[in-house]
Amino acid sequence: MAVKIRLTRTGRKKFPSYRVVVADSESPRDGRFIERVGTYNPKESPARFQVDEKVVLRWLNKGAQPTETVRSLLKKAGLWKKFLDGKREKAADA
C-alpha cells in the first residue's frame, strides 16, 4: 500500500478550498483517507496553508510521498527543509 499526502477538494463551485490528507494512493481523490493533516485555501489573499507540522513530518518519515502540489506547499512553509535536515541527521548518526 503506497501512502500519499495529497489535496482533496472542498468548497463550492469556483471557490475551491482543500484539505491536506494522508491517503492510500489507490483511493479516489475525494474518497477514503487515513488522516487529515491540514487545510489549504488558495482564494484568500495571501493563500492560507495550515498543517500540523509534527503529524506531517511523522508521515514523511514513515515513507508517505507528497504529491507535487503538496511538496511545493511544504517547501513554501519550510517543512520540506526540516524533513530533509532530519533525514540527513539520521544518516549522519548511523
Of all helices (H) and strands (E), which one includes residue 76? Answer: helix 68-77
What is this structure's pTM?
0.88
* Three-class DSSP category at 56: helix
Tell me what pLDDT residue 94 has.
Answer: 67
CATH label of the domain that carries residue 73: 3.30.1320.10
Question: Look-up: residue for cell 494512493?
Answer: 25
Tell me what pLDDT residue 88 has.
Answer: 87
If one counts the domains in the chain, the total is: 1
Condensed to tens digits (0 to 9), the pLDDT of residues 10-50 reads: 999 999 999 999 999 888 888 889 999 999 999 999 999 99
Condensed to tens digits (0 to 9), the pLDDT of residues 45-77 reads: 999 999 999 999 999 999 999 999 999 999 999
Q: What residue numbers bound the domain in which 68 lies? A: 3-93
Please enumerate in sequence order all residues whose Cβ is within 8 A of that of 31, keeping only pairs 6 or more positions apart, or say none.
23
* DSSP 8-state secondary structure symbol assigned to residue 64: P
